[in-house]
Structure 1
Amino acid sequence: MKWILFISLVPLFYLLLRQSTAHRRKTLARLAMLKDNRRPKEGSALAPRVKGLRWRQVARGLATKWMGRWSQGRIRRVHMQLLRSGNPFNVTVPEWIGLKLFILSLTTLVGLALFIATNGRGTSLVLLISFAFLGWLLPDFWLLRKGKQRQELLERQLPSLLDLLSVSVEAGLGFEQALGRIGQKLPNPMAEEIRRLLGEIQYGSSRTESLRRFADRAHVDSIRNFVSATIQAEKLGIGMAQILRVQSKEVRRKRRMRAQEQAMKAPIKILFPLLLFVFPAIFIAILAPALLHILQTFSHGF
């Protein structure tokens, strides 16, 4: 079995070695042309490629057949997950699915190698299936974790946004102009969302639709409330500065209540580590000398 695994890995090493030598030859050829003040023609084999373009094409190619029967709703859900996580790799839905398929292939190969190395035992078959599931689900879990972190950052930055927006509107700036100024001062991800919001408005989308899309991307209750209040104020003709002040106070009140709630949960969270780790160590430190003394006394007595 080990010889089969070794023989199956030989072509992979050969392809990697061939790819590295081909890349080295092309690099040397480009350097020689630059030395002679010549520029490779666009589209030729010696022309430099756009960074990241090749793996994106490979990822899209992998996902094309896989996503052939996907519904639009499923594609839209994956697209929304990418937006809510901030799209860390700046990929499209087919490119993300292609990356997942590539990771699935790698983990399946690792599981297959373990299966062959252990002569196909029952536990190795379970490992093979587990590695395959892990390769498919791990990217989604990572994306959800990035989305949660981004939501926490957006919720933490919202009070600062509301305060600055309220002051700017009271000073006489328009809503979009105030957002543009604030977007230059706030850190990401709030600044990124403000730039996207203003970009949608500049490209012809209405303020209401752009704000609703902002709330969908953020997926934070306090931002949804802020967007709803802003849209309602625009429809009813209420002063924007007053709405922003009320929203800022409400957001800070909810954040304070959430902090108090977390503080009340802290003793319960500390209880289990105390019972599992601290109390046993204390009991051992206190009772161990007494137990040793009792054992020595009984051993001398008998």
Structure 2
Amino acid sequence: MTIALVLVIVITAAGLGLLSYLVIAGPDPTRSRALGNLTRGLADRAGAGRQQGGLSRGLSPGAVGTRWVPQGELRLLDRLLSEAGRPAAWPLERVVAVKLWSTVIAIVLMLLYVVQAPTGRTVVLGFLMVALVYAAPEIRLYGIGVERRETMGRELADILDQMSIAVEAGLGFEAALVRVSQNSDGVLSGELRRTVQDMQVGQPRREAYLALGERTKVPTLRRFIRTIIQAEESGLALTEVLRTQAAEMRLVRRQTAEEKAQRIPVKVIFPLVFCIMPIVFIVILGPVALNIIDAFR
């Protein structure tokens, strides 16, 4: 038992050390992005599919542990990273390495826990802990993606107002898009700048707009993109379209805020019943109960 305990401690310490190294001294994200920009498109010209392009750019040839992760899992992580805005400090290979070594450490701790108390309950709790640690990166990235989509949805109305003013001042739609993306800050402005860069390097406008909707996955933005594409194909004036869309987005934002406000009473019920009301009962009925007990003595 002592030798097994020492072995478990050594393995855990080694895993923690390697995990710290991967997090602190991992590949330089700036260098990885520069290499990805230089090699972008080479795989497509060689005949590789577009679906694997983003994944191959996110992984270096010597990425740690990627061979032990299924391709479906890698594609899921790559998609979640894209929805989360691809944080510069967390490229795909680092997320995979942290995921694997965190799972290894969780398995070691689970075995240590089960050895000390070998019951069915400890085994179930141990497996649940390992499963939670294994799924933690996906859960965190999904949460970041949801927050990012909500932020872009709130910013859309203001962006459309600025674009409407720019178009009314005489700029074309693409020039207004460039002006607004350069003069605005926020998550949506960054995505608009990327769309402008895609069009500047030769991507057709329709494909660039559709790629924007696919990256962001914001329903209101996707609806606006479809409206703009239809207006351009039909030859309609974009000024009125932008004004109408901006008013609609402000209405959607107000309705969303009202919906969240209506949820507050329901969310307050559980803290009120389980946290506040017991304290109130103790403060009010406690002295009465003590007096009754003293009276019957």
Q: Smaller-chain TM-score range? A: 0.7 to 0.9
**Partner in structure 1 of residue 242 of structure 2:** 244
Partners of 1:197 and 1:225 lie apart in 2 by 17
Q: 1:282 to 1:96 in 2, by over 3 A?
A: closer
**Partner in structure 1 of residue 211 of structure 2:** 213
Partners of 1:217 and 1:263 lie apart in 2 by 29
Partners of 1:108 and 1:176 lie apart in 2 by 54
**Partner in structure 1 of residue 28 of structure 2:** 51
**1:191: how far off?**
2.1
- Residue 295 of structure 1 aligns to a residue in which SS? helix
Partners of 1:2 and 1:134 lie apart in 2 by 29
**Partner in structure 1 of residue 267 of structure 2:** 269
**Partner in structure 2 of residue 253 of structure 1:** 251
Q: 1:284 to 1:80 in 2, by over 3 A?
A: same
- Residue 248 of structure 2 aligns to a residue in which SS? helix
Amino acid at match of 1:108: I
Deviations 1:212-271 (A, max 9, x none): 111111111111111111111111111111111101100111111122222222222222
**Partner in structure 2 of residue 285 of structure 1:** 283
Partners of 1:240 and 1:146 lie apart in 2 by 33
Single out whichever of 180-189 and 212-221 deviates more from structure 2: 180-189
Q: Is the 8 A contact 1:59 1:95 kept in 2?
A: no
Candidates 176, 199, 203, aligned match of 2:197 = 199
Identity score, percent: 29
Q: 1:99 to 1:202 in 2, by over 3 A?
A: farther
**Partner in structure 2 of residue 126 of structure 1:** 124
Instruction: Indicate whether 1:80 and 2:79 are aligned.
Output: yes
Partners of 1:90 and 1:120 lie apart in 2 by 40
Q: 1:106 to 1:11 in 2, by over 3 A?
A: closer
Deviations 1:78-113 (A, max 9, x none): 433221111124666566444422332232233234
Q: 1:13 to 1:289 in 2, by over 3 A?
A: closer
Q: Is the 8 A contact 2:95 2:137 kept in 1?
A: no
**Partner in structure 2 of residue 107 of structure 1:** 106
The 5-angstrom pairing of residues 23-102 of structure 1 reads 51=28, 57=60, 60-67=63-70, 70=71, 76-89=75-88, 96-102=95-101
Partners of 1:290 and 1:50 lie apart in 2 by 67
- Residue 264 of structure 2 aligns to a residue in which SS? helix
Q: 1:277 to 1:134 in 2, by over 3 A?
A: closer
Deviations 1:35-61 (A, max 9, x none): xxxxxxxxxxxxxx973679x758724
Q: Is the 8 A contact 2:12 2:105 kept in 1?
A: no
Partners of 1:208 and 1:290 lie apart in 2 by 74
Deviations 1:126-166 (A, max 9, x none): 34423321222000000100001101110111111101111
Partners of 1:293 and 1:15 lie apart in 2 by 60
Q: 1:90 to 1:59 in 2, by over 3 A?
A: farther
Q: Is the 8 A contact 2:12 2:108 kept in 1?
A: no
Amino acid at match of 2:255: M
Q: Is the 8 A contact 2:107 2:130 kept in 1?
A: yes
Q: 1:121 to 1:271 in 2, by over 3 A?
A: closer
Single out whichever of 277-286 and 216-225 deviates more from structure 2: 277-286
TM-score normalised by length of structure 1: 0.75
Aligned length: 262
Aligned residues: CA RMSD = 3.1
**Partner in structure 1 of residue 46 of structure 2:** none
**1:196: how far off?**
1.2
**Partner in structure 1 of residue 144 of structure 2:** 146
Single out whichever of 259-268 and 201-210 deviates more from structure 2: 259-268
Q: 1:255 to 1:227 in 2, by over 3 A?
A: same
Single out whichever of 230-239 and 170-179 deviates more from structure 2: 170-179
Partners of 1:61 and 1:82 lie apart in 2 by 18
Q: Is the 8 A contact 1:212 1:227 kept in 2?
A: yes
Q: Is the 8 A contact 1:64 1:94 kept in 2?
A: no
Partners of 1:51 and 1:282 lie apart in 2 by 55
Q: Is the 8 A contact 2:100 2:134 kept in 1?
A: yes
Single out whichever of 208-217 and 273-282 deviates more from structure 2: 273-282
- The structure whose Rg is larger is 1
Instruction: Indicate whether 1:178 and 2:176 are aligned.
Output: yes
Give unmatched runs, 5+ long, in structure 1. 18-48
